[in-house]
Structure 1
Amino acid sequence: MNTSPFPTAQGSDHAVLLLHGLSSSPAELRFLARALVEEGFMTHTPEIRGYSADTGHVPMEQWITAAVAEFDALASRHRHVSVCGLSMGATLAAAVAQQRPAARALLLLSITLSYDGWAIPWYRFLLDYAYYTPLRSRYRYREHEPYGLRNEALRSKIARVMQRGEISEVGPASIALPALHEASRLAGSVRKKLKSISTDCLIIHAIDDETSSPHNARYVVTNVGASFLRTIWLDDSYHMITSDNEREVVARECALFMRESAAASACCNNPTPVVSRALARRLRQLAAVARKA
């Protein structure tokens, strides 16, 4: 597991574990990480063996174990630790929250419990069966336009990178079949245990997401066990919302939600209510009147 070289806010009491998408790299979350640092949060965007690009293949249980270990390392140094993921990284973040209910907030960006968006090929479901054939070691699912981007200028730039078979800021050019298989297993596991998640939860999803339809977000809203839950729908982005047209909105809403979650926690842990001097004076006056009556 390697730590990304992105900037962090040293000395912050609130750390954010950022988890990128399947077979990708921390570059997907570069803008969000920098924005959160500017807002005073400490960020950590690790590479995870078997999950991140060019790190081999391991069962999804090892992805979860590695991500939880990253969470624990942050929790040993910071008062608050939130978990944020993009795409399949959001699904992995939910798995972390299931095992670590002490997480301050859970931020699910374009969560993917099923690859059911409008740009997914009709034969996608056959890949689950292909895994059990000799194709397992040879087939790679190739990304294609719109590459998760509504922004046409950025899409053109990414297309050139993808044509060279390289990893771009919005993900890899292709994904191996074993990785897709383990991702499906991860999604199935998380789906079954959503009720166990009590962590404050923010869901941000594009209504035109071409990779994971809005049904994914609605399923979480209906089934998650969180009592503090907020859902934000974007109308000018596709799947890669941390890079697309509304990336500033995503960063702003993430920072706001984590602040509100931490503030609510501090309030609940403080037995003395916060009352203004004017209100306190008025309460004393009312109490005096009541005693005279």
Structure 2
Amino acid sequence: MIQNVEFRFEGGRCGVLLIHGLTGTPMEMRLLGKGLNRAGFSVYGMQLAGHCGDVPDLLATGWKDWYTSVEAAADTFRREVDHLFVAGLSMGAILALKLAAERPEWVRGVGVYGATFRYDGWAIPWYAKFAFMLPWLQRAGIGKNWMLHESEPYGLRDERLRAQISALMQSGDSTAAGLPGNPWPSLAEMYDMAAIVRRELPRVTAPCLIAHATEDDIASLENAHLVARGVSGPVETLLLENSYHMITIDQERRILIDRSADFFSKVAASCTPSALAAA
């Protein structure tokens, strides 16, 4: 059964919508959200459709459902703030970019954290690096019951936190640390969406803060370069050298929080409130 673990932190008239990753949970965005809230932002940590339940719950949804839930959350939140920013981790970053491409009038700026167009990091099993073929396999009915199981280091360089997250994942509590693996049909859905968003990147005109771990174990740095080359708006880049994929909770999360707060504040200062948000 899906449990709702979204969170809200009330703050000023600038709001940040936070989007977690595939098979993840809003909890992976909570520390970032608290930090942004301390910096004066209102924060909404949303929950993607089909997440925070079991594998059948996730498999009952696809990328269009995930994006629809993002758009619905953004539509609600933008009416409460003068400036709406959106930030996502991993697949959440891809969804954030899609929102900026589809709804440029809503989005003032984008936090692109550990963007994952391909699972091509150093800890990914060799066979999973061919996961870009999954949409074709899925259409052929192959791999419906396959799972890419999470393994060390679970996106975390912080060994103490890694042990905690591993225990939570194995406990079966998907609201705390997400599912212990990625169903291949869901990965296929993600790759379908990633291919679409890659083509849509030139439509992203909002400023982007692209943050990525230099030793990302899940998604190589090429994913960040792809975004920087593809978007049309101004780009700032933050490379984190002492973290792995889960940069919102790993060892350099405070650096990410500070740079994100500075970036969003700077963009907001250069804007006037949108007519729709102020209405």
Q: Into which bin does the TM-score normalised by the smaller protein fall?
A: 0.7 to 0.9
Comparing 47-56 and 193-202, the one that deviates more: 47-56
Q: 1:6 corresponds to which residue?
A: 7
Deviations 1:79-116 (A, max 9, x none): 11100000000001111111111211100000011111
Shift of the 206–53 alpha-carbon distance from structure 1 to 2, 3 Å rule, reads farther
Q: 1:173 corresponds to which residue?
A: 180
Question: Helix, strand or coil for the counterpart of 1:205?
Answer: strand
The counterpart of 1:82, out of the listed 82, 85, 90, is 85
Shift of the 245–199 alpha-carbon distance from structure 1 to 2, 3 Å rule, reads same
Q: TM-score, normalised by structure 1?
A: 0.84
Is the Cα–Cα contact under 8 Å of residues 23 and 53 in structure 1 kept in the other structure?
A: no
- C-alpha distance in structure 2 between counterparts of 1:95 and 1:196, whole Å: 9
Q: 1:20 corresponds to which residue?
A: 20
Residue 238 of structure 1 pairs with residue 244 of structure 2: yes
Q: 2:156 corresponds to which residue?
A: 149
Is the Cα–Cα contact under 8 Å of residues 20 and 48 in structure 2 kept in the other structure?
A: no
Deviation at 1:70, TM superposition (A): 1.1
Residue 93 of structure 1 pairs with residue 100 of structure 2: no
- C-alpha distance in structure 1 between counterparts of 2:88 and 2:28, whole Å: 10
- C-alpha distance in structure 2 between counterparts of 1:3 and 1:35, whole Å: 22
Q: 2:46 corresponds to which residue?
A: 46
Q: TM-score, normalised by structure 2?
A: 0.88
- C-alpha distance in structure 2 between counterparts of 1:75 and 1:194, whole Å: 22
Residue 264 of structure 1 pairs with residue 270 of structure 2: yes
Identity across the alignment (%): 35
Shift of the 202–42 alpha-carbon distance from structure 1 to 2, 3 Å rule, reads same
Counterparts of 1:1-293 in structure 2 under 5 Å?
4-10=5-11, 12-50=12-50, 53-54=53-54, 55-56=57-58, 57-102=60-105, 103-124=107-128, 125=130, 128=134, 130-132=137-139, 136-167=143-174, 171-226=178-233, 228-266=234-272
Is the Cα–Cα contact under 8 Å of residues 118 and 209 in structure 1 kept in the other structure?
A: yes
What is the CA RMSD across the aligned residues, in angstroms?
Answer: 2.2
Question: Helix, strand or coil for the counterpart of 1:116?
Answer: coil
Larger radius of gyration: 1
Question: Helix, strand or coil for the counterpart of 1:117?
Answer: coil
Shift of the 53–136 alpha-carbon distance from structure 1 to 2, 3 Å rule, reads farther
Query: How many residues were matched structurally?
Result: 265
Question: Helix, strand or coil for the counterpart of 1:190?
Answer: helix
Deviation at 1:133, TM superposition (A): 5.5
Q: Which runs of 5+ in 1 are unaligned?
A: 268-293
Question: Helix, strand or coil for the counterpart of 1:202?
Answer: strand
Structure of higher RCO (CA pairs closer than 8 Å, 6+ residues apart): 2
